[in-house]
Structure formats: C-alpha cells, structure tokens
Amino acid sequence: MPSTAPYGSWKSPLLAERAVAAGIGLGDVSFDGDSILWQESRPAEKGRNVIMRRGADGTLQELNPAPFNARSRVHEYGGRAYLMDRGVLFFSHFADQRLYRVDPGQAPRPITPESLALRYADLCADARRGLLWGVREDHRAGGEPRNCLVALQAQGDAEGGRIVAEGHDFCAAPRLSPDGTQLAWLSWNHPDMPWDGCELWLAELDASGGLHGTRRVAGSRDEAVQQPLWSPDGRLHFISDRSGWWNLYRWGEQGAEALCPMDAEFGQPMWNFGLATCGFSSARQLVCSFVRGAVSQLAVLDTVSKTLRMLDTPFSSIGNLAVSGHRVLFTGASPLQAASVCLLHLDDGRIKTLRRGSTLDADPDYSSVPEAIEFPTAGGLTAHAFFYPPRNREFRAPAGEKPPLLVMSHGGPTSMAANAYRAGVQYWTSRGIAVLDVNYGGSSGFGRAYRQRLDGQWGVVDVMDCIHGAQYLVERGDVDGRRLIIRGGSAGGYTALSALAFHDSFACGASLYGVGDLQTLAQDTHKFESRYLDRLVGPWPEARELYRARSPLYHLDGLRRPLILLQGAEDKVVPPEQSRRMHAALKAKGVPVAYLEFEGEQHGFRDLKNIVRALEAEAFFYARVFGFTLADPAEPVAIDNL
C-alpha cells in the first residue's frame, strides 16, 4: 500500500543529480556514406558538444577529442556546427570560433584565421570546387556584426572566406544543387525574425564559384520560408507558411507548387542553423515530419502523386531528420521515452535506437503521462497545454488535499512545449507537484495566426494564457488554487515575472535568466534578437513608454509574492544585470527573494553541477514557501525576507 504524505514531500527515485547526469542533449543528425553522425551536449563535461560517428559495423567514435567543443556562436544560438563530407570533418570550435578540419587519422587543424571576431555556421560542401559554402558573422568592425554568405577554401583559407552574397541583415542555409550549378539560400532583415518573414534566393554558379543571375524565388515580410532542399534530380523544394501553415512546396517554371496542403506544420521556428524536418529517399519520395497540436508525426510524401503515407512510430516528438536511401535518421521522444537518436528502415518499418538521451528508464509507476488540454482564454479564444498530474506509486496524499501546480512557460517565446518525456518535468510530478506546460498564444505548432497572437501583446497574451490554464485546472478540481507557481526560462522567465508583477494569480515563481527590463533587452542584446521586440511589443525607441509599462522591473509595487532568480554570469542574451537589479529591488522592498548566479554559464545552464544546484535550489525554495518538507536533503539557498 502506498504511504500517505503531503504533496511535495514524496520521496522520488529521480534525484536531481541522477536525472541531470543521466541525460545528454542530442541533435544535428546526418549521414556520410555508411557513417551515421550526431551531436551530443554533455552536462558532465560542462556542456561540451561532441560529434559522434557510428560506423557500418556499429562501432562508435568521438570525432572531436577534448577539449574541442563543436559549437558555433553565430546568432549566439549557433546550430549545425559541423559537417562531414566523404570522411573529412569540419567543425567550429567554441573557444576560438575557428573552423577546424579533421582528415582521417589526423588531429584537428584550423583552416580559418585566428580571430574571435569571425564566426562560422551552416556549412555546405562543394567537392568539385574544393570549397565550403557557409554563413560568416564578422565582428571586426565593432557595433552590429556583419552577416554574409562566404565561400571558403576547404584545405585552408587565410582570408576567412570570400563573400559571395551580402546586403541582408541575416543569411542561412546555403544549399548546393546535386550537379553543382546552382546555389540556394535564405535571407531576412531587421526587424523580422526568420519565422516572421524570410526569403529564398537562387543563383547560378560558374566554374570558380561566382554567383550569377541571383534572384528571389519565394518569401517576403509576410511569408516565412525555410529549409531549401534539392531533390536528387535537381528540383528545388522548400517550406513556406504562405497558406497560414508551414507546408511543402516545389519551385518550377510556373512558380511555387504546393505539394501537400494541410493544416499542419512541416516546419519549425529557425532558432538554430541546420533545421531539418524533411529529406529525400529518392527523386520522388520525400520523408517528412509534421506537427499537429504540438504532436509530431512521420510520413513519406510522393511528390509526383502528392499522396502522403503515414509511418508508424511510437514517437510524439520528432526533432532533426536526415535521409539516405531507405534509411531515415532522426531524434524521437515520447511521453515515456527521452529523446533518442533513432534509425528507421523504410523498406520494413524497422526502428533501431542508436543513442539514448537518458540512461534512465522511464518507469510508468513514477512517470506522469501528459493530458493534452484546450482551455478558454482571454478574448473568447482557446489556448493549449499539456497537464502532468502527480505520479508516484509509493505515495498518496492525505484525504482532501490537492496538489500544488507548477505552470511552465516555455522560452522563445516563439517555441513550443512538446509531448515528450523530460526529467525536468518528472522531477516535480514524482514529488507530488503537478505541472502545466503551456503553449500560449505565440507558440509554434498551431499555424501562423496562432504565432501572431503575440504580436504587440508579449507580456499580455502569454501571461493571460498561463493564468487561464491554471484556473481551468483549479475549476476542474485537479489542483490547489492557493498553491499555484509560475516558472520559466529566458522569454518564459519574462512571462513568469510579468504574471507576478501585474497579477495576483500565483503564490510564487521562478525566473531562470528571464527578462525583467524590455528596454535593456532592446538596447543590449545580440544582433539576432535585437529587433525581435519590434513585433512582440512595438518599434524601438518610438514605443519606449510601452516597453517601460511592460517591464516587470519598473512595476515591483505589484510584485509581492516570493520569487527565486537563477542567472548565468556570462549571459549575452539576457545580461545578468537585469536579474541583479531585480533581486536588489525586491530585497530592499521586503519581498521574499532568492538569487543564485552561476559563473561560466551563459544563456541556459550546461554544466551538470550548476543544473543540479539550480533544480535543487528551486525545490528548496518552494518547500520553504509552502511549508512542506522535502524527502531528500537539498543544499539550502538564502531567501531574503522570508
């Protein structure tokens, strides 16, 4: 029989250190001949990014030995920091941002100049010309960096690349046609983000790699194009949201041809380079993943008959995807399986897990399976979320007690809460704390109109959706309305701070590297997001007063509930000064507040010991606020004014 204990005090087998140490980040999958590659982010190595290769015989090899860290800082968020072509590896090393080349049996050697001011990402090989096409971000002139498309000599380029396309604020995804005669790429300009408006460009290439006949073939300020992709027979494909949904298109003499019109998202927000949700297995067979209601599915599209054949998989969340013949490589997760690198064989549907994202097995007796809910919200609209009730076979709550609810607001804010196992959610539910993971208006996965709900309304729509989602569960009788918590990281931290500063619905909250001052964010953040708020809030500096009105830091009179702030000391996206100012102001005001700052961490925590410390500090904070006793000891955190 289960023991009776208050919610929040249940003893869980999922200790913070065990949960974090067991997990690694997985992504950027690819093929190179018979080799299979992916990238791992390892908390146990302070977040070092390692490129792994699985040979045809199943042997595993780490391609960038320590201390090499395959991570690009272009746009600060990077992505697709490596490329392997016919056994030769190229990667960006985080410490110096130089490109390195690794020939078989050789040590990594730099092929770009020794300059921290030059950064590279999103490489594409051109073996015929001995070139690498890629994105370069140049900080040498000071001020806003210069982003352009470059051609690099693959053996070594002392000049750091020859500029072949510039004139736009941003560029991405250079993709060479199979015969090497054409190059496609993406570009966009301030104040748009790539999911607001993005253009697809096409040019002819001469023998030396010069571009001719450059022309825009799709995209505008009101159309977000992504993922240029060539079929094996040389036809250009791409994803566009011109219909209101990110759907698949083919470019031809008659313009853009829709291949599979659906109210579904075949694309995702392009936060990182190398986004890939589709790939060709043959000239007419396109393997693709798409999202409906924040749940992923995998399918094969016949681009001639335009028929879609669903593939049977156990996954509800599918990430990166690569295709080589009958083999499909992707990251997949489900409510009871953490993200793993998986290989699917199209000929027989067989799926093999190559690398698990966690060494822990998700025990159904301790793992909460989410319920997808829709709930009414402001303006007569409907919003979406995943609800995770407490789950631990060894415990039950005293009669009549209802659990605290932890409302999670995802980052971005243009992002999505997925239906996938996350130890960071199960850590709470296995201790008796319910979780609501909210896909507020502005989230991806529900079409362009849903994303645009946040235009001009950041800090309003997202906050109200979190409040209404919590109240929906209170009214349904699932949770304790007196013990509602809101927490989030980055943009989700801003939502949490705004909810606490402007409303009284939540009893306490947590902000992880969250935005407290929109004005500072608009003035001090990196180039990629420096005009993000023009659409989310209003044009800067014309809307200066609105920025101040929406900034929690200037409205602390309304923030009377306990708050814990967790911050990286080297954060360039949300500078730590914002959290420091928030902490000092609340401390002086007499509000219960805790502050932890982690040396060496940037935007998002990567070091195992810091992730563990942050998680345990948050649990300790909630236990003190609500008066329950944690079953496992946690290092105390100083809470001022409590």
Report CA torsion sign: 477, 478, 480, 484.
negative
Mean pLDDT in residue range 436-459:
98
Nearest to 329 by CA among 29, 22, 5: 29
Residue type (1 letter), 461:
V
Whether the predicted pLDDT of 471 surpasses 90: yes
List, for residues 145-194, the tens digit of each pLDDT value: 999 999 999 999 999 999 999 999 999 999 999 999 999 999 999 999 99
Query: pLDDT value at position 348?
Result: 95
Mean pLDDT in residue range 53-67:
96
Task: Let me know if 265 is exposed, middle or buried by CB neighbors in 10 A (0-12, 13-18, 19+).
Answer: buried
Which residues pair with residue 232 across a beta bridge?
none
Confirm if 600 and 570 have CB atoms less than 8 A apart. Answer: yes
Distance, in Å, from the CA atom of 76 to the CA atom of 60, rounded to the nearest integer, reads: 30
List, for residues 118-142, the tens digit of each pLDDT value: 999 999 999 999 999 999 999 999 9
For the sheet with 170-176, list strands across it.
170-176, 182-188, 199-205, 211-218
List, for residues 84-111, the tens digit of each pLDDT value: 999 999 999 999 999 999 999 999 999 9
Whether the predicted pLDDT of 360 surpasses 90: no
Ramachandran angles phi, psi of 438, nearest 5°: -95, 130
Poorest-pLDDT segment among 159-173, 358-372, 373-387, 422-436: 358-372
Query: pLDDT value at position 18?
Result: 78
Whether the predicted pLDDT of 402 surpasses 90: yes
Query: pLDDT value at position 521?
Result: 86
Mean pLDDT in residue range 223-233:
98
Q: With bands split at pLDDT 50, 70 and 90, how would you rate the model's confidence at 253?
A: confident
Distance, in Å, from the CA atom of 606 to the CA atom of 513, rounded to the nearest integer, reads: 13
Whether the predicted pLDDT of 19 surpasses 90: no
Nearest to 137 by CA among 154, 103, 158, 112: 112
Q: With bands split at pLDDT 50, 70 and 90, how would you rate the model's confidence at 12?
A: very high
Whether the predicted pLDDT of 11 surpasses 90: yes
Query: pLDDT value at position 578?
Result: 87
Task: Let me know if 57 is exposed, middle or buried by CB neighbors in 10 A (0-12, 13-18, 19+).
Answer: exposed
| Percent of the chain that is helix, strand, coil (3-state, to 5) | 20, 35, 45
Query: pLDDT value at position 502?
Result: 97
Confirm if 595 and 510 have CB atoms less than 8 A apart. Answer: no
Confirm if 38 and 341 have CB atoms less than 8 A apart. Answer: yes
CA 134, distance to chain mean position in Å, is 22
Which helix (DSSP H) or strand (DSSP E) does residue 624 occupy? helix 608-626
Whether the ω angle into residue 413 lies within 30 degrees of 0, i.e. cis, is yes
Mean pLDDT in residue range 345-356:
96
List, for residues 549-589, the tens digit of each pLDDT value: 999 999 999 999 999 999 999 988 788 998 999 999 999 99
Mean pLDDT in residue range 388-402:
97
Provide the mean pLDDT of the chain.
96
Mean pLDDT in residue range 44-53:
94
Distance, in Å, from the CA atom of 238 to the CA atom of 369, rounded to the nearest integer, reads: 35
Confirm if 320 and 312 have CB atoms less than 8 A apart. Answer: no
Whether the predicted pLDDT of 46 surpasses 80: yes
The token duo for 525 is 């953040």
Nearest to 80 by CA among 101, 102, 104, 49: 49
CB contact set of 182 (below 8 Å; sequence gap of 6+):
176, 202, 203, 204, 205, 234, 236
Task: Let me know if 1 is exposed, middle or buried by CB neighbors in 10 A (0-12, 13-18, 19+).
Answer: exposed
Distance, in Å, from the CA atom of 450 to the CA atom of 447, rounded to the nearest integer, reads: 6
> Please, what is the angle between helix 461-476 and helix 491-502, to 10°?
70
The token duo for 220 is 């505008």
The token duo for 24 is 């690694």
More confident residue, 634 or 345: 345
Query: pLDDT value at position 72?
Result: 98
Whether the predicted pLDDT of 592 surpasses 80: yes
Which helix (DSSP H) or strand (DSSP E) does residue 470 occupy? helix 461-476
Whether the predicted pLDDT of 497 surpasses 80: yes
Query: pLDDT value at position 189?
Result: 98
CB contact set of 289 (below 8 Å; sequence gap of 6+):
266, 277, 278, 296, 297, 298, 299, 318, 321, 330
List, for residues 276-296, the tens digit of each pLDDT value: 999 999 999 999 999 999 999
Whether the predicted pLDDT of 21 surpasses 80: no
